[in-house]
Amino acid sequence: MNSFIQKKLPSGKNLSAIIRAERLSRQLSLEQVALETAITFKYLKALEEGNYNLLPGEVYVKQFIKKLSDFFKLNQQFLIKIYQEEKQNQDLLIKVASSIPKNYLRKNFFDPKMINRIVIGCLIIIFIGYIAWEVKNIFTPPVLTIAAPVNQSVTTESSITIKGQTEPETTILINNQEILTQSDGSFSQSVDLTIGLNVFKISASKKRSQAATMDISILRQGAR
Give the tens place of pLDDT for each residue, 110-121. 556 666 777 788
Q: Please classify residue 68 by burial: count the beta carbons closer than 10 Å to its beta carbon, then call 0-12 exposed, 13-18 middle and 19+ buried.
A: buried
Is residue 179's pLDDT more than 60?
A: yes
In the chain, the percentage of residues whose pLDDT exceeds 90 is: 21
The residues, any chain, with a CB within 8 Å of residue 151's CB and separated by 6 or more, are 215, 216, 217
Cis check: omega of the bond before 56, within 30 degrees of 0: no
pLDDT bracket for residue 11 (50, 70, 90): very low
pLDDT higher than threshold 50 for residue 174: yes
Distance, C-alpha 43 to centroid of its chain: 40
The pLDDT value recorded for residue 143 is 82
DSSP state of 183: T
pLDDT computed for residue 53 by the predictor: 81
In angstroms and rounded to an integer, the radius of gyration of the C-alpha atoms of the chain is 41
Other beta carbons within 10 Å of 159:
10
Confidence of residue 141 (pLDDT cuts 50, 70, 90): confident
The conformation of residue 120, written as its DSSP 8-state character, comes to: H
Greater model confidence, 93 or 177: 177
With a cut of 80, say whether residue 136 has pLDDT above it.
no
> Which range, 51-65, 142-156, 188-202, has the best average confidence (pLDDT)?
188-202
pLDDT band at 129, cuts 50/70/90? confident
Global pTM value: 0.41
pLDDT tens profile 18-74: 888 888 888 889 899 889 889 889 988 888 888 888 888 888 888 988 998 899 888
d(CA 160, CA 8): 92
Q: How buried is 100 (Cβ within 10 angstroms: 0-12 exposed, 13-18 middle, 19+ buried)?
A: exposed
Q: Place 217 in a pLDDT band, splitting at 50, 70 and 90.
A: very high
pLDDT at 222: 80
Closest CA to 170 of 128, 113, 212: 212
Is pLDDT above 80 for 195?
yes
* Predicted local distance difference test score (pLDDT) of residue 154: 92
